[in-house]
Amino acid sequence: MKSREGFKTVYQAVIATGNKHKLEEIGVILKDFQLEVLSMKDVGLDGLEIIEDGNTFEENALIKAKTVMEKTGKLALADDSGLEVDILNNQPGIYSARFAGEHATDKENNDKLLKLLKDIPLEKRKARFVCAMAAVFPNGDIVVLRGECSGVIGFEPKGTSGFGYDPLFIIEEYGKTFAELGEERKNKISHRAIALEKLKEELKTRLEGE
């Protein structure tokens, strides 16, 4: 691996996701970090099905990262993230991507959420995005960190940026949904950004120590 200023070696890190939106988002957040980011396609694992049968975001993130590290021998990073709505007993939670069915679209998931929250006033629509980020190193070391971002669920989709529940998730500080804020702003305050910032500090400590 090539040397770069500040590091004795440079890690290649495989992002263990088939979700192109997540891959792009993680890549943007890590772009200034001295790490060579690889996709599943880059390492010949495009289309790999990983069974996420954990009971928490942390367990599912770790399952994905472990699987990819074992198959590639490279540092693997994986996230598992989703939406928790207080009044729905933290649903959809780990089932966020398939809330309306196994192969549900973002629109179908959003429509189901809005239907369940019908007639619920704004002050009772509090929610949070959660992201668990796992890193599994070639030597077997494991790091799992969590990021959260609080907001409320709106009454209708707004904005054209982002993906998933972004058009419904309102950041009260801005009075706008993630989809209205745009990628640049979102990538500074989101649950994934918070988890990745924590992970970057952990990686920096480990990589600089080599």
- Residues acting as catalytic residues: 80
Determine whether the annotation assigns residue 191 to a binding site. yes
Please say whether the beta carbons of 48 and 18 come within 8 A.
yes
d(CA 73, CA 32): 24
Structure tokens at 158: 């707004």
**Residue at token pair 């669920």:** 153
Residue 87 has φ and ψ, to the nearest 5°, of -70, -15
Residue type, position 139, single letter: N
165: annotated binding-site residue? Answer: yes
Q: Is 164 annotated as a binding residue?
A: yes
SS3 of the chain: helix, strand, coil, percent, to 5 = 35, 25, 40
- What is the distance between the alpha carbons of residues 189 and 47, in angstroms, rounded to a whole number? 30
Is residue 46 annotated as involved in ligand binding? no
Does the bond joining 138 to the residue before it have cis omega, within 30 degrees of 0? no
| 17 labeled part of a ligand binding site | yes
With beta carbons less than 8 A apart as the criterion, state whether 133 and 61 touch.
yes
Q: Is 186 annotated as a binding residue?
A: yes
What is the DSSP-derived secondary structure letter of residue 160?
S
Measured in residues, the chain has a length of 210
137 marked as part of a ligand binding site: no
166 is in an annotated binding site: yes
Binding residues for substrate: 17-22, 81, 163-166, 186, 191-192
Binding site as annotated, residues for Mg(2+): 80
Going by the annotation, the residues of the binding site are 17-22, 80-81, 163-166, 186, 191-192
